[in-house]
Amino acid sequence: MSDQGLEMRDMVIEECREKMAKAVAHLKEEFSGVRTGRASSGLVEKLRVDYYGSEVPLQQLAGFSVPEPRVLVINPYDKGAIRDIEKAILTSDLGITPGNDGSIIRLVFPVLTEERRKEMVKVVKQRAEDAKVAVRNVRRQTRQELEALEKDGELSRDELERVEKDLEGQTHKVVLEIDELLHHKEQELLEV
């Protein structure tokens, strides 16, 4: 087994870890956009606002605060953008009508019905499952790359088996992390 083989093995494993971490980060971002009964800036931060002819994410135009569990206050840096921000909220799939006092926008989140909560739980379960599939695809692709290294004589059979065992452990750890994220999001959704 050559130094080059070890180097290539390490590169393949590092790339695998990065891709799995990206899958988890993507899931966290998706979960932050799923509406629960609580107010969260994650629901509106990425909303695209037509600001003087440019599409800009709301997080670049305003600050956010949550003075009460079901109230989100949006404080635009430029008060002239209030109408544009309200328009973006109204055309989004949030289903909330914004109110403003001329300087800030208030979003009051209604309590979700039990039926809507159950629908949202199905949505987050599906997104978590998609993330697990992505992680398993990364594992499969990594395993193929490692087997190619072994076939080319860059890795010994023993080293391949050891690295594959580590790969299984890493995959299992990431899947558990996804399950934990899902559990927390479900609790959040079912909390009345």
Going by C-alpha positions, the residue among 141, 138, 148, 159 that lies closest to residue 3 is 159
Is the distance from CB of 1 to CB of 146 less than 8 angstroms?
Answer: no
Token pair in block for residue 55:
């599409």
Phi then psi dihedrals of residue 56, to 5 deg: -125, 135
Is the distance from CB of 48 to CB of 60 less than 8 angstroms?
Answer: no
Per-residue pLDDT of the chain (192 residues; tens, 9 = 90+): 567 778 888 999 999 999 999 999 999 988 877 767 677 788 888 889 999 889 999 999 999 999 988 899 999 999 889 999 999 999 887 778 899 998 999 998 887 788 888 888 898 999 999 999 999 999 999 999 999 999 988 889 999 999 999 999 999 999 999 999 999 999 888 875
- Going 73 to 111 to 50 to 85, the CA torsion angle's sign is negative
Q: What pLDDT does 43 receive?
A: 80
CA distance 84 to 56: 11
Q: What contacts 132, CB < 8 A, 6 or more positions away?
A: 175, 178
Q: What contacts 158, CB < 8 A, 6 or more positions away?
A: none
Is the distance from CB of 81 to CB of 51 less than 8 angstroms?
Answer: yes
CA distance 188 to 186: 5
Q: What pLDDT does 29 receive?
A: 85
User: E-assigned strands of the chain?
Assistant: 48-51, 54-57, 62-68, 71-76, 99-100, 105-108
Domains in the chain and their CATH numbers? 3-33+113-190 (1.10.132.20), 41-108 (3.30.1360.40)
Q: What contacts 76, CB < 8 A, 6 or more positions away?
A: 61, 62, 82, 85, 104, 105
Q: Render the burial of 8-42: b for 16+ CB within 10 Å, e for the rest.
A: bbeebbeebeebbeebbeebeebbebbbbbbbbbb
